[in-house]
Structure 1
Amino acid sequence: MAAEANNFMPLVSKIYCSSSQMVLVVRRRPHVVNGGGFVVTDCAQKVVFHVDGCGVVGSKGELILRDGNGDPLLLIRRKGGVVEALCIHKKWKGYTFEYEGLQKSVFSLKEPIGNSCLARNNAIRISIDPRVSNKNWDFEIKGYFPERDCSILDSGGIVVAQIGVKEEVNKLMTSKDLYHVVVKPGIDQAFVFGVIAVLDYIHGESTRC
């Protein structure tokens, strides 16, 4: 169920749930300069999040989402493969950093492997902890991330976040290094960008070595 403006849905923290729709800008960092990953800014160009990939973390299949001050919010790891419907999936799990080094599970996402599984029309399903849907998943990703044309929907089919490129930027840039993400009211922005970090890695972009 999508969150309304007065019905926040904190998965990482309530402070990342806005009462109004947010438009945030993502800029990929070059591997040769900053070890890859990407930076997320708001309309005032203030850094809200940044993501470190394996070029910074030093471990493949591991990502860290940090806040604007550089403090870690999410540790995201890729687990072993699972065979399902003739496709081999690797599961990603996102954890918050708790006190005394403890980690709390926030979400899991199955990564399809192979060209036949990564078809553009193939939705990627996300489960959160605790569960909010009576289905075996809570959110799904539809569209094609490499073209910056995809959305995160809840189990009822309502769009909670949308990834795109402004037309004027698209005309000026042949690469997809700069794009925007629209996050609906009440949705945890840290969760959204944790999911986007996984998509970036799956498609071999800035977070991958």
Structure 2
Amino acid sequence: MATKPLNVMTQQQPLISKLYCSPYETILLVRRRPKVANGGGFAVADAGQSLIFAVDGCGIIGRKDELVLRDGDGNALLLIRHTGGIIEALTLSRKWKGFSYESSKLVFTLREPNSCCSSKSPIRISAGSKTFEVRGDFSEGSCAIVDAAGQLIAQIGVKISVDLYHLRIMPGIDQAFVVGVIAVLDYVNGGSTRC
């Protein structure tokens, strides 16, 4: 559903591809797949119910702490991995990294607060020279991704059911990047991508 045209102030911000940067505000539907043998993950559709993205969790790809973001045709776009180890145990955050499936180039790093720290600490995302923050509570279905200036880039909105909710993405923002971040949030909150 496209409602608001791209204005002069807003520019395309491709992190994965300009193909996923709409000049309009976009509402997508996220449907979680059930956690069953060889299952898990979620699908993202547009208002016409056409599949735009799919995220495969560990039930499908068979590896814990690893996710794959695919386009509507099933082509892999991002490989998202938790990068841990001894050093992480000593830090205040856990790191997830999203790599381009095609070039293996780092697209984004997401830092979530370590479980021993306050869960009220914000989740921070860096993508090249850009920084973002997750505000709100993903598990409650009310959170937003904002840029360094505090401007909204995406919002997880109305829950239609336990397994279906809206995702609102602002004009010019790379939708694949946002869905990759949502995949990590789903995983760390025990959602459908986690085994």
User: What TM-score comes out, normalization by structure 1 length?
Assistant: 0.84
Matched, 1:106 2:99: no
| Greater mean alpha carbon deviation, residues 184-193 or residues 27-36 | 27-36
Indicate which of 19, 23, 46 corresponds to 1:15.
Answer: 19
1:116 Cα shift? 4.3
Distance 2:105 2:32 in 1: 28
Matched, 1:179 2:172: no
1:113 Cα shift? 2.5
For the Cα contact (< 8 Å) 2:112–2:122, is it kept in 1? no
Query: Residues 103-152 of structure 1: CA distance to partner in whole angstroms, max 9, x if unpaired?
Result: 01000011223264323xx31110112x13xxxxx000000001110000
- Cα distance change, pair 41–5 in 1 and its aligned pair in 2 (3 A): farther
| SS of residue in 1 equivalent to 2:13 | coil
Query: Residues 10-64 of structure 1: CA distance to partner in whole angstroms, max 9, x if unpaired?
Result: 0000000000000000000001265110000000000000000000010000000
Letter in 2 for 1:90: R
- Cα distance change, pair 115–28 in 1 and its aligned pair in 2 (3 A): farther
Percent identity of paired positions between Structure 1 and Structure 2: 53
Letter in 2 for 1:83: L
| SS of residue in 1 equivalent to 2:115 | coil
Give the gaps of 5 or more residues in structure 1. 133-137
Distance 1:34 1:57 in 2: 8
- Cα distance change, pair 70–5 in 1 and its aligned pair in 2 (3 A): farther
Matched, 1:67 2:75: no
Partner of 2:127: 128
Distance 2:192 2:82 in 1: 16
Distance 1:161 1:178 in 2: 17
1:164 Cα shift? 1.1
- How much is the aligned-residue C-alpha RMSD, in angstroms? 1.6
Partner of 1:135: none
Distance 2:123 2:189 in 1: 13
| SS of residue in 1 equivalent to 2:179 | helix
1:93 Cα shift? 0.3
For the Cα contact (< 8 Å) 2:29–2:165, is it kept in 1? yes
Partner of 1:55: 59
| Greater mean alpha carbon deviation, residues 30-39 or residues 138-147 | 30-39
- Cα distance change, pair 41–14 in 1 and its aligned pair in 2 (3 A): same
